[in-house]
Amino acid sequence: MLIFLCVAFCAGTARAAFINGQDYVPLADWAGANGLKISWPARNQIVLTNKNSRLVFGVDSAQAEINGVNVRLSFPAAKDKGGALIAQFDLNTAVRPLLWPSRYVEPKKITTICLDPGHGGKDTGNRVGWHYEKNYTLPLAFELRDQLKKLGFNVMLTRSTDTYVDLPARPEIANKAGADLFISLHFNAAQTDKDTVHGPETYCITPVGAASSNSQGEGADHAATVANRLEDKSLLLAYHIQKSLAQNLHAEDRDVRRARFAVLRDATMPAILIEGGYMTNPTEGKKIYDANYRKQMAAAIVKGILNYQKLTAPAVVPNHPAVKIQPAILSGTNKISNAKNAKKISRMRMRTIRN
């Protein structure tokens, strides 16, 4: 009853606001306009639901959960005396592309995938005792390459031996080859709380106007990068890989995050960076050093790529049995049939994208 009263009260009185340089809109209004019901199961927690989606926001927190996956927003959700507010910026750059990818993401076939095993040569990456990060990113890349090749993808690596490759050179390799995806592979290390910090994180480019959410993240005044052109797609890819990693490895979901990493900034294709877990955590570290676990991790990454591919694949129109083009239509004399067929094709494309 209390929850009901709060919802009724909150929904009617929140007003748009300008907070710390950002336009904020009442979450209840946005939810109502998009067919989502709003509730406050706890004092500082707001939940939006309909039959397809469940979104969870925290008051004064940039932490959100979008259909079961943790996503870092660029700005914290806020509360005024009338109810919850959300930054329009986050609706545009995080919520909408993930909820309705077919409206925001241009379909494109994935043929070639560029894998980037982090570090190499003189750059060891994180070091825990005698365990060097560079020695685990490379075998993970090999495992992932083998699994992707079996599915028919072309796979290329930015390094296939223990050699040093400059950070900006890595996306450049993918750009020159015309790769369709760029996936950088890393393992993490915590400075403190080593026993408690564990779980994968997946990064994509920070939207223009926001600060990054990695620990050394730059501020919001950073200029646009090449990668910002495809930031919705990169977010969608990061989301599906993070979801698959957390679910299939039964690991703690440490969020889809944003960073302007040098290996992401100049990529001309959807580009992400996976931190597959924390070497500094005694339990997770042991798993990372185990080839069997890396095999499971590669399989989880593959599943994430395939889920992303389902959402972004162009419709295969001409040979599809549902829209077999009749000779009369091909002759170009039957305008009505052509129009009907175009509608059919369009409907089929939407179905393909939404599945």
Q: How many Å apart are CA 167 and CA 339, to the nearest integer? A: 50
- Residue labelled with tokens 């950088």: 184
Q: Which is nearer to Zn ion, 26 or 118 (CB)?
A: 118
CB 293 to Zn ion: min, Å:
18
CB 119 to Zn ion: min, Å:
6
Q: How many Å apart are CA 273 and CA 201, to the nearest integer? A: 8
| Dihedral sign for Cα atoms in the order 244, 247, 251, 252 | positive
Residues numbered 179-218 forming contacts with Zn ion, rule: CB under 5 A: 186
Q: Which is nearer to Zn ion, 118 or 304 (CB)?
A: 118
272, 204 in Cβ contact below 8 A? yes
* x-marked contacts with Zn ion along 252-291 as a string, rule CB under 5 A: ----------------------------------------
Q: Which two tokens stand for residue 126?
A: 């994180």
Q: Which of 26, 76, 101, 125 binds Zn ion (CB under 5 A)?
A: 125
Q: Which is nearer to Zn ion, 11 or 185 (CB)?
A: 185
Q: Which two tokens stand for residue 299?
A: 């399989």
Q: How many residues of this chain bind Zn ion (CB under 5 A)?
A: 3
Q: How many Å apart are CA 27 and CA 112, to the nearest integer? A: 40
Q: Under DSSP, is residue 268 helix (H, G, I), strand (E, B) or coil?
A: coil
Which range of residues in 48-56, 87-95, 110-118, 245-253 is near Zn ion by CB under 5 A?
110-118
Of the candidates 129, 94, 138, 98, the residue with the CA atom closest to the CA atom of residue 312: 98
CB 261 to Zn ion: min, Å:
10
Long-range contacts of 147-151 (CB under 8 A, 24+ apart): 147/298, 147/299, 147/302, 148/113, 148/302, 148/305, 151/302, 151/306
* x-marked contacts with Zn ion along 157-186 as a string, rule CB under 5 A: -----------------------------x
Q: How many Å apart are CA 184 and CA 271, to the nearest integer? A: 8
Q: Which two tokens stand for residue 248?
A: 């299939």
Which range of residues in 121-129, 243-251, 257-265, 317-325 is near Zn ion by CB under 5 A?
121-129
Q: Which is nearer to Zn ion, 98 or 140 (CB)?
A: 140
Q: What is the largest CA-CA distance in the chain?
A: 75
CB 240 to Zn ion: min, Å:
22
Q: Which residue is nearest to Zn ion (CB)?
A: 186
Which range of residues in 113-121, 142-150, 189-197, 243-251 is near Zn ion by CB under 5 A?
113-121
Q: Which of 26, 83, 118, 207 binds Zn ion (CB under 5 A)?
A: 118
Q: Which is nearer to Zn ion, 188 or 352 (CB)?
A: 188
User: Which residues make up the interface to Zn ion (CB under 5 A)?
Assistant: 118, 125, 186
